[in-house]
Structure 1
Amino acid sequence: MEIHRYMGDPEEKGWALGTIKDGLLKVSRLSEFNDPFEGMFSMPETISAAQMRQYVRAGREDPRVAFSPTLAEIKCSESEMTRGIKQRYPEIRRQRLVDLDRARDDLFLAASFSDTSQIDPTNEILLWSHYANSHRGVRLGFEINDRDARSYKLENVVYDSKRITIELAGDPDKNAKLLLKAYMRKSEAWSYEKELRLFLRLDRCESKIVAGKSLYFFRYPQAWISSVDFGAECPSNIKEPIIDFVRSSQRPIKLRQASYHESEFALVYDEIII
């Protein structure tokens, strides 16, 4: 299955060409994505006495419980601990949300793609407008091979009206799985994107300084690139170097030029023969 990554290049510095030529895919921390709800989950606003006792007892045995490694080290009785949690639960809850949000950014990076086979023509126009510099950029087609899936995880985003809920006193393994689900859940408002995410660990990526800023890249197998579509407004100084590279490298990459349909709110793609 071919999936697509839309790329804008406002300063026209040849980012798409670099992605194809160098085999480096830019990846980002989830906090850098454009949705402020990225990876957010919820915790119940109250906790029962039974849950408090469960939290304390489990924490004595397994410091991973509720992501509180210091719980097992606190020297006080179970009843004193339970009373303290009852008094401080709102504060504990807020701090857990902050800590987990920070930990998420230190572990995972991601790149976004769209399954355009599931997108209607009107929404496709939105993706070009939002992510490809108002149709001046390009769309890269990828056929990701799962034979090297130890290095990454490709997941479909789930669209829902509710966030994932994690309980403070929940089983640590279950909570860890729920956290991963939170990374793949977004509001139904974004469903037009039909998004897939390539998740990678930070230590599997390469860091580079670009314009004074530290950016991360994943060195992907170059056979993944299967096509390049040029936006309807893509300028020749972005388009021609890519065409020249594909021609000279003789790589089996399909090239197409997008244009506006004559009567509908849709795009037409014409193959570029080289």
Structure 2
Amino acid sequence: MKNVLFRYSDPEKNHFLSEFKNQQIHFSTPEQFNDPFDCQMEYERTVNEVLSQKGVANKASTDILSKQLKKKLTNIGICCFCRAKKNQLMWSHYANSHKGICIGFNRNVLLSALPNVSVEDVIYQSKHPLHSIPDCMKLNSGNLLEAVITPLLTTKYSYWRYERETRLISQEFGLKDISAQSIQSVSFGLKTSEQDKAKVYDMLSLPQWKHVLIFQAKKAEHRFALEFSRIDKRKGFACL
């Protein structure tokens, strides 16, 4: 499933099924993330530390670059995905303890509708990303922002490694339109209610979603694992 990206969805959240209702995905600002260390920084101190490491720090350059960095990061939007749908911790943390759903996106089709968006797999490590800038890199006003921003947006503490996260990064936050063909599957969790399943079936009864496959999670026998079986959509539609 290298070409599939997954998003776990909580039925108690306001944006539940917005991917189907509006054909849009939301790019959040870093301030909205649940990890207080994720993408956060003190701009002036960060720039000063990086420039000091390279022996080129001075008050004027620090002030200018910190303002540029803050302006750029303030507008950036990030949409987070997972590279696995059998991730039990993700089902617990992001799909309301297995009560939600997991939406599978075709990576190539999704990106084709988002031309100004970059895609990056998150790197997990114990060292802060700003300490990983190569010593040989010659920093200037042109490349400092990229040297700082890219590692900052794509690095998390090693504790979060289980998320296996891929990020879509845009220069602007907010809602972005996607193609209906970019969504290829919906998986129900172990505890997804019949009411929420009915909402999904109702949405998928529309012609633009006829290609979307539906799966049901179940406990694997004699293993601490999840398995998924495909559901005949006709049976679900018959219950509407």
TM-score bucket of the superposed structures, by smaller chain: 0.7 to 0.9
Superposition map of 1:261-272 within 5 A: 261-272=220-231
Q: Is residue 2:146 matched to residue 1:181?
A: no
> 2:83 is matched with which residue?
115
Do the aligned residues in 2 keep the contact of 1:23 with 1:222 (CA within 8 Å)?
A: yes
Following TM superposition, by how much is the alpha carbon of 1:45 offset from its aligned partner in structure 2, in angstroms?
9.0
C-alpha separation in 2, matches of 1:100 and 1:191: 31
Q: Is residue 2:114 matched to residue 1:156?
A: no
> 1:103 is matched with which residue?
71
Percent identical: 23
Q: Which structure is higher in helix share? A: 1
Number of residues paired by the alignment? 217
Tell me the secondary structure at the aligned position of residue 97 of structure 2: coil
Do the aligned residues in 2 keep the contact of 1:226 with 1:253 (CA within 8 Å)?
A: yes
Superposition map of 1:131-210 within 5 A: 131-144=94-107, 145=109, 146-165=111-130, 170-178=139-147, 179-202=149-172
> 2:7 is matched with which residue?
5
C-alpha separation in 2, matches of 1:186 and 1:111: 15
* One-letter amino acid matched to 2:35: D
C-alpha separation in 1, matches of 2:113 and 2:203: 26
C-alpha separation in 2, matches of 1:235 and 1:175: 50
* One-letter amino acid matched to 2:81: F
> 2:22 is matched with which residue?
22
TM-score w.r.t. length of structure 2? 0.78
Do the aligned residues in 2 keep the contact of 1:66 with 1:172 (CA within 8 Å)?
A: no
C-alpha separation in 2, matches of 1:171 and 1:101: 13
Q: 1:25 to 1:149 in 2, by over 3 A?
A: closer
Please list the CA deviations of residues 17-43 of structure 1 after superposition, one character each: whole Å capped at 9, or x if unmatched: 332232011221111111111124655
Do the aligned residues in 1 keep the contact of 2:26 with 2:176 (CA within 8 Å)?
A: yes
Do the aligned residues in 1 keep the contact of 2:130 with 2:151 (CA within 8 Å)?
A: no
Bigger Rg, which one: 1
> 1:125 is matched with which residue?
88
> 1:246 is matched with which residue?
204
C-alpha separation in 2, matches of 1:26 and 1:45: 32
Do the aligned residues in 1 keep the contact of 2:114 with 2:178 (CA within 8 Å)?
A: no
Unaligned runs of 5+ in 2: 234-240
Q: Is residue 2:223 matched to residue 1:227?
A: no
Q: Is residue 2:216 matched to residue 1:257?
A: yes
Q: 1:45 to 1:109 in 2, by over 3 A?
A: closer
Following TM superposition, by how much is the alpha carbon of 1:245 offset from its aligned partner in structure 2, in angstroms?
2.6
C-alpha root-mean-square deviation of aligned residues, in Å?
Answer: 2.9
> 1:38 is matched with which residue?
38
